Structure 1
């Protein structure tokens, strides 16, 4: 069906001017039948419903923090089996992230989000009913597929539905929802651990998942996907529901035509990722994705109560500390999303990462010296929460964002799938080895190892990640094509093609 957009350019011997005139006639004919029924409520509600999948991701990954203690009591899990149970969701996330790229292209973003919500619900119920450890791991794996799929398709669905001037605000609703989901998971773990076992803690996530599944039936499709697969006329009808004026609809349809006309076959899909000029973006985005997960934040979310209990904290104190971890994560993510455009992606990471390093060094010292009792226990909590603040408010905010903006449009689908797979694969490595590392090196030394990884992430960002705040996607692509995609002296960012000022330092 893509020929319905690009068919004008397939005729041989036609000049570019003739093609553009034909395109304009087509647009005028389509616009005659477009009815503007836009309301801010429709667009925001669609983004909110889709973003709930981020909350499910946060809850389903974060609930293991409080539920793992109960699971260990019921099944007698060893440290190694605890790692397998906790990390099974991450192995599924890698599968889900890669598979959803194909699915969202075949059946569309909206239907894929609906399917993902259904898998969330089925996975939560299956996991809560698991009578044995292997079935528990299988249920966590199914939940992981939904988690990985949501991180691939939901931001893409929202960004393709949102107008350019509101895209950043609406897409970051997904990031904020993740933090809220983790916080809710910690609240449930702390307040209900003496009332509920782990089974209802996990099962309750099926309720919002079913709400999303039903609500998505009434949400609009992605207008860009519809244009590429069904034609411009149905895409124009959808844009009329989420845009304010005929001018906005016509401008977006014209952009879709131009992109389709200029796209080259060898630059699309997985073939495009192998182009040499794209490698700097791959290095920057995938490198930040790796450090986002391997810096230790996910380890704290999953294992903070376990670490603190091993260090001498009581179970209630350990669970309340994990609640603080969730609260700081949610607050820092919200603040990071609000300021990342003003401060800049690169600068925000370079400001915040040193705080992560210092916090982990201090936390390691507390664990290594055994100073976790009495008044010293408060200092341990301060270092733990400080690390969550600096890490989740900096590189965590930028990790997902860079993957959505650094890749050229023609290959963005598979490139973002690869980016999500890198995030989840790195998360799997950390979660699957954290307890074994603690057993081998000690809790204090483990914190220092992660401090070293955070320091390495600072060097990586400084050397390989340019500033992309305030730069259009087209300018980023042009910088890649010209071999100019690299950090600039003074942190000035990528220069706009128009020749005006670069992104402020």
Structure 2
């Protein structure tokens, strides 16, 4: 360590205010405040589930099956672009500042959706709202990862996923309460949408009281500010050591050459990007978001009345939150590839049973309850296995050189696939019916299972260096499950 850095550390250590705050408690506050971005993500994607049946009415926005899909999916198209561009903006302006910007976008676009006079205006503001959703999906986890200690990083980052499903649950609950106690108001859907302005305001206010990422400060050469933040969220000795490690990482990042699209000519890089896209698409083609966005519509089609369907749909939100806790617990204990295979087996079975039940029991009073139980079963497998493993594996398979390119491409593909499925689902439901639509999703689930079984290696307990060496050396005939190289790497470093 050089002398100026030592002097700077001593100066920061003498700042008594840095020691008055408990690092652990302050980290909890930071996590709570920043994950309001995840809560908004969840609420804005989930609220459309209950709002669509009301805004589709002839005296409201008069939506067809196609424009219903467009209203729901336009947010996801915006999210694809928001996810791609927010990373660069956060690198330039800072994570904290970008999250504050996103809270303002959340607030303004939510009001735009609430007061939309027609479908065109609604689609426009939903697209802009999606930019904020996509930005939050990338910036908030990155912000948490850079502030959290290594030993609890996974726990802190996955709390954002928990807030997302909690936001969806809140949306389902408010939808049901407003629908059943609105007194027949014709603008009921506007009340559902406007609630999202409250967490947007709380996020904006809260971000004034949390620090910027010390890693971002260090990347801009602001080492004194980085050390000050570390003293707020770490014990003094650890703060000094971590600053040295951060400084070394920043220097390595600057000296290392980042991958570009030209590098896709290399077979091993192509293979990793192919796997990343595959993992992202696998999560979406299971049909999860057809249930998250159109659960009320599905239950109506199965036989429930609208008000009853809204109440029943709350069960989907409850199981999503409960299953996410299970998924967080499983991640550190179970290999990732088997988790995906078990999850895909469960979700595909649920989809097949929905298709069979809706074909054989159409018009019977038993059908809506069977469909509800199968959607609950689907989400239990999805949220406990597929969803948590997807984001974790995407963070694991890309070596440092490839991370920017790989995550950008795969997250864009994830949101684009989400957009296409959400756009087409109501059209398919109207065109070929509930049973055939879910048979199509079942076939997609079989394709996803085959992809994971044949192409995806196990990543648990493998360092980034081991994975990179494996992808560089693995040929098409290598058993990718059993031939992962053993590289002598100190994983503590």
Relative to the length of structure 1, the TM-score reads: 0.88
Q: For 1:260, what is the secondary structure of its paired residue?
A: helix
Alignment of 1:266-277 (within 5 A): 266-267=257-258, 276-277=267-268
Alignment of 1:251-330 (within 5 A): 251-258=242-249, 260-261=251-252, 264-267=255-258, 276-330=267-321
Could you tell me which residue of structure 2 aligns to residue 350 of structure 1?
341
Could you tell me which residue of structure 1 aligns to residue 32 of structure 2?
48
| Structure 1 range deviating more: 38-47 or 164-173 | 38-47
Confirm or deny that 1:240 pairs with 2:231.
yes
CA distance in 2, matches of 1:400, 1:148: 14
Confirm or deny that 1:114 pairs with 2:100.
yes
Shift of the 490–270 alpha-carbon distance from structure 1 to 2, 3 Å rule, reads closer
Q: State which of 339, 357, 361 in structure 2 corresponds to 1:366.
A: 357
Contact 1:465 / 1:486 at 8 angstroms: preserved in 2?
no
Could you tell me which residue of structure 2 aligns to residue 7 of structure 1?
none
Could you tell me which residue of structure 2 aligns to residue 87 of structure 1?
73
CA distance in 2, matches of 1:214, 1:241: 20
Confirm or deny that 1:143 pairs with 2:116.
no
Confirm or deny that 1:416 pairs with 2:400.
no
Q: For 1:56, what is the secondary structure of its paired residue?
A: helix
Could you tell me which residue of structure 1 aligns to residue 185 of structure 2?
none
Q: State which of 199, 206, 212 in structure 2 corresponds to 1:208.
A: 199
Contact 2:43 / 2:164 at 8 angstroms: preserved in 1?
yes
Contact 2:394 / 2:407 at 8 angstroms: preserved in 1?
yes
| Structure 1 range deviating more: 277-286 or 158-167 | 277-286
- Once the two structures are TM-superposed, the CA of residue 282 in structure 1 deviates from its matched residue by 1.7
Shift of the 415–216 alpha-carbon distance from structure 1 to 2, 3 Å rule, reads farther
| Structure 1 range deviating more: 177-186 or 487-496 | 487-496
Instruction: Show CA shifts across 1:261-320 (max 9, x none).
Output: 375553257677776543333222221111211210100111122122223222233222
Shift of the 278–393 alpha-carbon distance from structure 1 to 2, 3 Å rule, reads same
CA distance in 2, matches of 1:500, 1:149: 34
Contact 2:303 / 2:365 at 8 angstroms: preserved in 1?
no
Contact 1:475 / 1:496 at 8 angstroms: preserved in 2?
yes
Could you tell me which residue of structure 2 aligns to residue 3 of structure 1?
none
RMSD across aligned C-alpha pairs, in angstroms?
A: 2.6
Shift of the 388–125 alpha-carbon distance from structure 1 to 2, 3 Å rule, reads same
Shift of the 354–406 alpha-carbon distance from structure 1 to 2, 3 Å rule, reads same
Relative to the length of structure 2, the TM-score reads: 0.90
Contact 1:466 / 1:493 at 8 angstroms: preserved in 2?
no
- Once the two structures are TM-superposed, the CA of residue 448 in structure 1 deviates from its matched residue by 1.0
Alignment of 1:56-95 (within 5 A): 56-73=40-57, 74-95=60-81
Contact 1:349 / 1:394 at 8 angstroms: preserved in 2?
yes
Shift of the 475–365 alpha-carbon distance from structure 1 to 2, 3 Å rule, reads same
Shift of the 258–216 alpha-carbon distance from structure 1 to 2, 3 Å rule, reads closer
Could you tell me which residue of structure 2 aligns to residue 463 of structure 1?
454
Gaps of 5+ in 1: 1-22
CA distance in 1, matches of 2:268, 2:92: 28
Q: For 1:75, what is the secondary structure of its paired residue?
A: coil
- Once the two structures are TM-superposed, the CA of residue 65 in structure 1 deviates from its matched residue by 0.6
CA distance in 2, matches of 1:493, 1:390: 29
Confirm or deny that 1:443 pairs with 2:447.
no
| Structure 1 range deviating more: 396-405 or 329-338 | 396-405
Could you tell me which residue of structure 2 aligns to residue 231 of structure 1?
222
Gaps of 5+ in 2: 183-187
Confirm or deny that 1:497 pairs with 2:487.
yes
Contact 1:180 / 1:330 at 8 angstroms: preserved in 2?
yes
CA distance in 1, matches of 2:476, 2:215: 30
CA distance in 1, matches of 2:298, 2:233: 48
Aligned residue pair count = 478
Shift of the 464–96 alpha-carbon distance from structure 1 to 2, 3 Å rule, reads same
Contact 1:100 / 1:417 at 8 angstroms: preserved in 2?
no
CA distance in 2, matches of 1:155, 1:359: 31
Moved over 6 A (4+): 269-274, 485-488
- Once the two structures are TM-superposed, the CA of residue 238 in structure 1 deviates from its matched residue by 1.6
Could you tell me which residue of structure 1 aligns to residue 10 of structure 2?
32
- Once the two structures are TM-superposed, the CA of residue 48 in structure 1 deviates from its matched residue by 1.8
Q: For 1:313, what is the secondary structure of its paired residue?
A: coil
- Once the two structures are TM-superposed, the CA of residue 368 in structure 1 deviates from its matched residue by 1.6
